Amino acid sequence: MSGAARGAQSTTLLPTSLPLVTASESRQFDQLAEQAGLPSLVLMENASLRLAEVLQQHFELDPPKRIVVVCGRGNNGGDGMALARHLHNIGFQVQVFLLADPNELKGDAATNYKVAVNFGVPIQPITAQSELSQLVEPMKSADLVVDALLGTGITGEVRGLYAEAIPLLNDYAPRILSVDIPSGINSDTGEVCGVAVRADATVTLGAIKLGLVLFPGADYAGDLFVGSLGVPESLLANMGIRRFASTYELVQKVLPPRHPNTHKGDYGRVLVIGGAPGMSGAAIMAGKAALRSGAGLAQVALPQSLNIAVETSALEVMSFPLPETDAGTIAPEAIEALAPRLDWADVIALGCGISRNERTQTFVRQLVAQVDKPMVIDADGLIALAGYREILRKRKSLTVLTPHPGEMAALLQTSTEAVQRDRVGVALKAASEFKAIVVLKGARTITAEPEGTLFVNLTGNAGMATGGSGDVLTGMIASLLAQALCRHLDVHPVEVVAAAVFLHGLAGDIASWEKGEVSLTAGDLLDHLPRAINEPELSQPLTLRPLSPFVRFVVRMRK
């Protein structure tokens, strides 16, 4: 990564994670499969078989259990009717409700309707609002309801019969399995299109839809599976997808086994610059996280009056006292004092607990502008750069920004609400504008780079919404970057950053199993980070547990 450390675009990206597709890319995927000779009707048949696997194995249902399938007029409904046929054939008690006139069906959906009827599957058309009450009692007595109403094509609000039927599914179905995506969820953004089905599980078909891993869509999807359509993964890889869900494979790529004949200098030197009265712990946590995640050396530079804090609380972390302001924060003169430490460092972590003191903010801007070293900038270090985007744009070395939504809003001079409405778009915009890798923290943290590659993180939990958690992440990112740089790994910086985010969340998940979410602290992340790094099997309940050779369990949604 030696070249990449000097510019985030100079190394070839070799993704090792799960692709995330938009609705248009999903259609393109199907079209490529058809062009390769696989008819769309076969794709639909394969989809129905994957749904049947999840229904039987995940929900543990066997004949003669009662299954209600609620279908729309499109291909999603066609998948549902094909599933109903398979279940009927093996002895399930199946009832299909088609929210359309059968004469309106076209293509593969029409074919599957005809075949299902000919094979004796009971299908009840519903074409008026007054007929929707027919759904209630069958759903209440069913063991499972399959949502096959709407697929990835929806963009505007759900209307008509579907808008009236979806609340009935939510109110009366004991459990719901959604086909491809919960009806009413925008597959690109995860937004609720007025009303949406709240599924217990979703089988997304062919490839994971982006909206299924973003909130609120992730909350509606329930346990998420991806089912094979019988198309090789190479077809998806050749489409040039640039959005991925992070997996443990990234960690294995970024932290390969160490050679026994090495020393601490081979694993990078991290310099943490931060701390202020009342916030020295932030910089110390970042220093500890750098070491715990594998850096060979870590040093914390903070106001001289606080130097004793590092000396007494972090024995493995070196300290460096800096000139300070009258308020006890880092003074601009510290740049000159830091010169030898800046030369020593492979990666700099800047901003943890650094304060918003006016003179300290000037120090931050001068440091970022003048120092040509890879830099991870967090917290009030980001606030110092709000309104100074040219400082970031002119940097030649790798820059990583780690804002929470409020800090991102300050950087882009917008509102927190606007950031949260379009987290993917905002992260990509910021990465492009600032020529930096951007880590937009929050539920499903997003890591984006200037050329448009993006990772969505599936690890982590609400217990990590606690002070110091972000400081730990900053130290981890700096550490993994320093190691990749010093070990000359063939890895792109955005993959390194995404791996750190993944491990950070996984450490939080492991900690929550022991401590619970309510009692979780940032220190618990440090304590459980070794298990996150060394026990890959602990990530499997969260990602990539196989249900069969054709169905993968992507993520469990905590209720």
pLDDT digits (tens, 9 = 90+) for 340-371: 999 999 999 999 999 999 999 999 999 999 99
| 248-536 and 20-241 share a CATH fold | no
Confidence (pLDDT) at 557: 63
Tell me the pTM.
0.94
Q: Find the mean pLDDT for residues 311-318.
A: 91
20-241 CATH choice from 3.30.1300.10, 2.60.34.10, 3.40.50.2300, 3.40.50.10260: 3.40.50.10260
Q: Find the mean pLDDT for residues 315-326.
A: 96
Confidence (pLDDT) at 10: 38
Q: Find the mean pLDDT for residues 245-249.
A: 93
Q: Find the mean pLDDT for residues 320-324.
A: 98
Summary mean pLDDT of the chain: 94
Q: Is the pLDDT score of 402 beyond 90? A: yes
What's the Cα-to-Cα distance from 303 to each of 77, 338, 472, rounded to whole Å?
64, 12, 20
Q: Find the mean pLDDT for residues 227-248.
A: 92
Q: Is the pLDDT score of 545 beyond 70? A: no
Q: Shortest CA distance to 436 belongs to which of 477, 499, 389, 500?
A: 389
What's the Cα-to-Cα distance from 252 to each of 59, 458, 491, rounded to whole Å?
32, 17, 11
Q: Is the pLDDT score of 544 beyond 50? A: no
In the structure, what pLDDT confidence band is assigned to residue 13 with cuts at 50, 70 and 90? very low
Sheet holding 437-440, edge to edge: 208-209, 18-21, 243-245, 454-456, 446-448, 437-440, 399-401, 375-377, 347-350, 269-273, 297-303, 318-322
Ordered by start, the domain boundaries in the chain are 20-241, 248-536
Q: Shortest CA distance to 222 belongs to which of 175, 153, 156, 165?
A: 175
d(CA 102, CA 195): 25
Confidence (pLDDT) at 556: 75
Q: Shortest CA distance to 241 belongs to which of 467, 19, 544?
A: 19
d(CA 242, CA 19): 7
pLDDT digits (tens, 9 = 90+) for 454-508: 999 999 999 999 999 999 999 999 999 999 999 999 999 999 999 999 999 999 9
Q: Find the mean pLDDT for residues 95-116.
A: 98
CATH superfamily of 248-536: Ribokinase (3.40.1190.20)
Confidence (pLDDT) at 12: 43
